[in-house]
Amino acid sequence: MEYLQLGALARIFRGYRGSDNPEKAEEYAKRAMSYLYEGEDPVLTKMIHLESVDDDGILTVTDTDMPLSPFMARKYRLREGDIVIPRGPTAATNGCKVLVVDEEPLIPYIPNGNTYVIRPYKNAVDPYYLAAYFETNEAFEDMDALVTGESPIKLVPIGNLNCLEIPLPEEEVQQKIGAAYKTYKDMLIAVKEYKKELRDRQKDVFDNVLDDEFTSPKREALALKEYLKHRSKRRLVQNRNG
């Protein structure tokens, strides 16, 4: 199997190191605008923390907007196909918490400074294949070997991360792994939506029964399950068609 350094497959950069505290963020935005885009209004963005990503790699975005200068927003905004990982291996999960950006949102998502963004070069590697690799024990051990310093918080310098050796099987195998990883992610999103919908209906059951708007929980659960099943199938077809 061929191995290539990550730096040959993708551009890697650290997330935004400013503050998402509203007062400080505005100060950072004004500072950047003062010498780059004086007179332009700040851009409203969403700061992405590792805590915003659950163990299934699903992002929950907060309602808090953070103003940034147009220059900073363009520089740090996440794009479709970007991979966001912590700056070091996560011992608690024996691997990395990984986020793959499925599509670029209208409001810029800005990764915070505790993360690295991996932006694959065009046609170099499937981002979902890379994400699948970063969740393996092999990746955890390889990144752990790249840690420097004696800090209790393990961090991998960006130069070391560029040198991380990535296994590259045949392209057909990479595509198969990437497609399967994305399909499982879509299924996990559907399950999460399904659980949320059931919980909302559970909370409304008291009023619904009194208002004679109640239907059997089993019937509603089955209907929701079928809906999400068909939705997952549509996503799978879309993934296969590119």
Higher pLDDT, 102 or 219: 102
- Mean pLDDT throughout 109-122? 92
The token pair at 234 is 């549509």
pLDDT for 34 beyond 50: no
pLDDT recorded at residue 92: 46
pLDDT recorded at residue 216: 67
Higher pLDDT, 215 or 4: 4
pLDDT for 140 beyond 80: yes
Average pLDDT, whole number, for the chain?
79
Q: Which of 22-36, 39-53, 73-87, 190-204 has the lowest mean pLDDT?
A: 22-36
- DSSP3 helix / strand / coil % (the chain, rounded to 5): 50, 20, 35
- Mean pLDDT throughout 154-169? 92
pLDDT recorded at residue 13: 96
Which candidate, 16, 164, 17, 20, places its Cα nearest to that of 89? 164
pTM attached to this predicted model: 0.78
Positive or negative torsion for Cα 174, 175, 178, 184 = negative
Which candidate, 84, 138, 133, places its Cα nearest to that of 110? 84
